[in-house]
Chains A and B, each alone.
Chain A
Amino acid sequence: KAGVTQTPRYLIKTRGQQVTLSCSPISGHRSVSWYQQTPGQGLQFLFEYFSETQRNKGNFPGRFSGRQFSNSRSEMNVSTLELGDSALYLCASSLAAREYGYTFGSGTRLTVV
């Protein structure tokens, strides 16, 4: 059974550019959540999608957006990149979070220079 797949694994972008990250959840998982992980801040919640609808959104600026497709794959977009956006971006999928928790992907390491 394939796990949560995130692409690309590493990315280097320049300030002001935009970036799109991709997440393929485990087959059958309809909930996909995105987190930003930085040293000292832990995992910061970005947003959560379920059946193509954004159900929840964290406290991030509008430059961070996402979407989910009919096959549950999700993308996250960050526009006008800032140096502070450098982080590990983790995607997590769930079948039923309150029973089985979340399964995380290995993340995309974004470096903004």
Chain B
Amino acid sequence: GAVVSQHPSRVICKSGTSVKIECRSLDFQATTMFWYRQFPKQSLMLMATSNEGSKATYEQGVEKDKFLINHASLTLSTLTVTSAHPEDSSFYICSAGGSGQGRYEQYFGPGTRLTVT
């Protein structure tokens, strides 16, 4: 399967600061990037979907001004958590989706654990 990397893998920040998470699709042309959030013992929650070169589409209840998504190329998407608060502490996972061999495929990055103090 494709390789998707995320950086950083773990970050601790102070309340009120902003944090940027990078997601790179290393060997897969991702027409679409997805950002998920997962709280302990809960299911994946899709936050937003972004296509290269266009604005992200946010799921209901996700603040687009707080979670800024940029999808500058087929291999790079970033999520910036602005003015982070302790309730934003979670496991953030990106995923790269695209058509491989005529079929849709989607691969996950390793995730970024964010702790806001």
Q: Does chain A bind chain B?
A: no
Q: Which residue numbers of B lie inside 8 Å of A, CB to CB? A: none
Interface residues of A (CB under 8 A from B): none
